[in-house]
Amino acid sequence: MRTSSLWFVAALLLLLSAVAAAADVTGKWKAEFTTPDGTARVNTFTFKVDGGKLTGTVAGTQDETPIQNGKINGDELSFTAERPFGSFKYDGKIVGSEIRFKVTFNEQSYEITAKRLEK
């Protein structure tokens, strides 16, 4: 019985340390990029982290939409956003002071890089 309790505590500590190790992306980030069709765009991301949950918004020149299904684990984050012109999926990796995203939209994907504006 004592051994199983120790294993449970060890597993719980490991889980908590993984959540605590999530990078702090809270704040505003800006990405300037060109879409696959050649259109220049700017998106501003506002993030808030609570444990492994990521919330916030994605703003373009014509809209601001809430982040949905947001998750963060270590240096990786993912979320979706229902923009006026369709559903977007964002998979990102935090590298220094940047987030490198793979964005998927209408079975196409492209990469963008967001840089921190403010915390």
The pLDDT tens digits for 53-108 are: 999 999 998 899 999 999 999 999 999 999 988 999 999 999 988 999 999 998 89
pLDDT tens string 29-59:
999 999 888 999 999 999 999 999 999 999 9
Q: Domain count of the chain? A: 1
Query: Which domain does 83 fall in, by range?
Result: 2-118
Q: What is the CATH number of the domain that holds 33?
A: 2.40.128.20
Cβ neighbours, 10 Å, residue 19 = 14
Q: How confident is the model at residue 3 (pLDDT cuts 50, 70, 90)?
A: low
Cα 42 to Cα 11, 50, 114, distances in angstroms: 42, 26, 10
Q: Is the pTM of this model over 0.85?
A: no
